[in-house]
Amino acid sequence: MLKCDRMNIVRFLNEPHYQTYLKGKECSYWDKDLNWDMARNDNLNEDLKSLAVDVASMSAHVEILGMQNAAELLSQCSDFALKISLGQAVNDEARHAELFAKYATIANGYIKDFSKTQEVYDEHFNNLNTFDEVFLSHVFLENGALEQFNVFVNTFGEDSLIGQIYKGALQDESRHVQMGIQYFKRKILLEDGFSDFIYNHLNNYRNILHMNQAAIDWFSQLSGISSEQIKDRIEKRHDSFINRMIKVE
Ligand SMILES: [Fe+2]
Ligand SMILES: [Fe+2]
């Protein structure tokens, strides 16, 4: 945790996390022009309307968890630039939770129950001990969410309100992933054997952090992309996540 009596040693203007934070400030209000009148009767085919309520309800649950997780990381973080970036991420996740919850409430009257999704992640995070373990799982899940949000933007289209919400959230999430990659990249350079920690952690928890077969089949049905292709994309995303941290520029 960063102690206020040590602020005199803080140097952050050249930190890569600070540059990412500045980028985030420029898109703070991307949701201000969303047309909420569309939520009652979104610009979607009939069969996609109930699906939009389902995924918005599920996303509202997941975003609440992401917000709480980012807030816990923020309170334990001792790096000033990373701490303010996590503060910004908490605000982003609050906005995501609010927008998905608002969409489901207006379109459907209430948010559908997806509390089981939350139990799986709660159990995983409760078993982790260090800041780096929690942060790595958190960022890796966000990286996986980019794949899912992409499918939602393409399925619903940018003419729909739900598609616009996923598009905005996707931009925030890719900034969060970038912030995490920068943090771990630096740790790999500074600490011997740190890349082993990354490989081992992601391998040990692969089954929890990756989409399961049922989710893959569901996404395949939704997007028209074959299950094999989705599996392949997940593996590639896994490898590219690790490679981006290890690559020396
Ligand atoms: Fe989010
Ligand atoms: Fe995020």
Tens-digit pLDDT profile for residues 160-210: 999 999 999 999 999 999 999 999 998 999 999 999 999 899 888 877 777
Q: How far is the CA of 165 from the centre of ligand 2 (A)?
A: 14
| pLDDT score recorded for residue 196 | 92
Q: How far is the CA of 85 from the centre of ligand 2 (A)?
A: 11
The Cα 189–Cα 192 span in angstroms is 8
CB 85 within 8 A of CB 175: no
| pLDDT score recorded for residue 248 | 62
The tens digit of pLDDT for each residue in 114-168 reads 888 777 788 888 889 999 999 999 999 999 899 899 999 999 999 999 999 999 9
If you average pLDDT over residues 106-112, what whole number do you get? 97
CB atoms within 5 A of ion ligand 2 belong to 142, 173, 176
Q: How far is the CA of 87 from the centre of ligand 2 (A)?
A: 11
The Cα 186–Cα 189 span in angstroms is 5
Ligand nearest to the CA of 149: 1
Provide the residue count of the chain: 249
Query: Which residue in this structure is represented by tokens 């899940």?
Result: 141
Q: How far is the CA of 179 from the centre of ligand 1 (A)?
A: 14
Q: How far is the CA of 46 from the centre of ligand 2 (A)?
A: 30
Q: How far is the CA of 199 from the centre of ligand 1 (A)?
A: 24
The tens digit of pLDDT for each residue in 36-89 reads 999 999 999 998 999 999 999 999 999 999 999 999 999 999 899 999 999 999
Q: Please give the biggest Cα pair distance in the chain.
A: 59
